[in-house]
Amino acid sequence: MRYMSDHAVLHVKGRVLVGPEEVRDGLWVVDGRISYDRPAGARDVRTVEGWALPGLVDAHCHVGLDAHGPVSEDVAEKQALTDRDAGTLLIRDAGSPSDTRWIDDRDDLPAIIRAGRHIARTRRYIRNYAWEIEPEDLVAYVAQEARRGDGWVKLVGDWIDRDAGDLSACWPREAVQAAIAEAHRLGARVTAHCFAEDSLRDLVEAGIDCIEHATGLTEETIPLFAERGVAIVPTLVNIATFPRLARGGESKFPRWSAHMRRLYERRYDTVRAAYDAGIPVYVGTDAGGSLAHGLVAGEVAELVTAGIPPVRALSATTWGARRWLGRPGLEEGAPADLVVYEADPRADVRVLAAPRRVVLNGRIVG
Residue whose C-alpha is closest to residue 262's, from 171, 167, 192, 191:
167
The two domains 9-54+329-364 and 56-325 share their CATH topology (first three levels equal): no
pLDDT at 139: 98
Query: What confidence tier does 241 reach under pLDDT thresholds 50, 70, 90?
Result: very high
Mean pLDDT of 246-268: 97
Report domain extents, the chain: 9-54+329-364, 56-325
pLDDT digits (tens, 9 = 90+) for 11-67: 999 999 999 999 999 999 999 999 999 888 776 678 899 999 999 999 999 999 999
Q: What is the pTM of this model?
A: 0.96
Per-position DSSP letters for 210-276, written without gaps between them: EEEE-TT--TTTHHHHHHHT-EEE--HHHHTTHHHHHHHHTTT-HHHHHHHHHHHHTHHHHHHHHHH
pLDDT score recorded for residue 2: 38
pLDDT (0 to 100) of residue 52: 98
Residue 50's DSSP bridge partners are 14
Please report the pLDDT score of residue 8 as a whole number. Answer: 75
| Residue 45: predicted pLDDT | 76
Predicted confidence (pLDDT) at residue 106 exceeds the cutoff of 90: yes
Backbone angles phi, psi at 3, to 5 degrees: -115, 140
96-122: average pLDDT:
97
Average the pLDDT over 300-304 and give the result.
98
For 276, other C-beta atoms within 10 Å of its C-beta total: 12
Identify the weakest region by mean pLDDT among 37-41, 95-99, 175-179, 275-279. Answer: 37-41
Q: What is the rounded average pLDDT of the residues 96-102?
A: 96
pLDDT digit string, tens, across residues 120-179: 999 999 999 999 999 999 999 999 999 999 999 999 999 999 999 999 999 999 999 999
Residues 215-226 pLDDT 10s: 999 999 999 999
Task: Decide yes or no: CATH 3.90.480.20 for domain 56-325.
Answer: no
The fold of the 9-54+329-364 domain, in CATH, is Urease, subunit C; domain 1 (2.30.40)
* The pLDDT of residue 41: 73
| Interatomic CA distance for residues 146 and 124, integer angstroms | 21
- pLDDT one-digit tens code per residue, 83-94: 999 999 999 999
